[in-house]
């Protein structure tokens, strides 16, 4: 889990992390599975309210244990996580339906950017990586601007040509 890494960055070794990891695992929200969430209905409202309250109590206990001066990363992480989980529950309590658990379009885009940077940019300088990130963000998030930019570059140098090369494999 990501918390173990953050605790390590805050100076806690694995043995010292165990009680905190157990406390986190005991929070009711982490007992749910996608299948279990999908089976909940409006009749389960009282049960979900109790679980939401116990979840908030569990997070509050963890926040109280993690002194922000001593464990700045971990306390911030747990606090942010608690807000996300609280939003998840409050949405269901208000709307009577769960936020979809599948990956959304924005997460998909950022995942692609992260993967490109990881595979290509890890050997680059910081300036080169920032330039690559800028180009990638524009290409993925602003495709219309990207087309205009390419049209602009093509008109500046008419000798510049892009050739589309395709390689196909066919197993016989």
Within a domain: 139: yes
Give the end of a domain, one of 68, 95, 122. 95
User: Is residue 162 a part of any domain in this protein?
Assistant: no
Contact 60, 38 (CB under 8 A): no
Q: Structurally, how many domains does the chain consist of?
A: 2
Give the chain's radius of gyration (CA, Å): 24
- Digits of tens for pLDDT over the chain (172 positions)? 578 888 888 888 888 888 888 988 888 888 877 677 767 777 878 888 888 899 999 999 999 989 989 988 888 889 988 888 888 778 777 776 666 655 566 667 677 777 766 776 667 777 877 777 777 777 777 777 777 777 776 676 667 666 666 666 666 5
Residues 127 and 69: their CA atoms lie apart, in Å, by 33
Domain-located, residue 169? no
56 neighbors 82 (Cβ within 8 angstroms) = yes
What's the length of the chain? 172
Residue with tokens 């990586």: 129
pTM given for the model: 0.53
- Looking at residue 159, what DSSP letter applies? T
């Amino acid at each position: 889990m990501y918390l173990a890494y953050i605790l390590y960055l805050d100076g806690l070794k694995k043995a010292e992390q165990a009680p905190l990891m157990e406390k986190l695992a005991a929070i009711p929200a982490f007992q749910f599975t996608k299948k279990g969430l999908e089976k909940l209905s409006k009749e389960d409202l009282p049960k979900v309210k109790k679980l939401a309250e116990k979840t908030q109590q569990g997070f509050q206990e963890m926040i109280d244990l993690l002194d922000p001066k001593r464990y700045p990363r971990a306390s911030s992480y747990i606090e942010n996580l608690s807000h996300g989980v609280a939003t998840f529950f409050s949405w269901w309590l208000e709307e009577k339906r769960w936020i979809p658990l599948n990956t959304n379009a924005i997460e998909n885009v950022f995942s692609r950017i992260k993967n490109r940077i990881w595979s290509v940019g890890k050997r680059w300088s910081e300036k080169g990586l920032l330039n690559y990130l800028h180009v990638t963000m524009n290409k993925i998030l602003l495709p219309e601007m990207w087309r205009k930019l390419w049209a602009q570059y093509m008109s500046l140098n008419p000798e510049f040509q892009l050739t589309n090369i395709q390689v196909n494999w066919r197993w016989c």
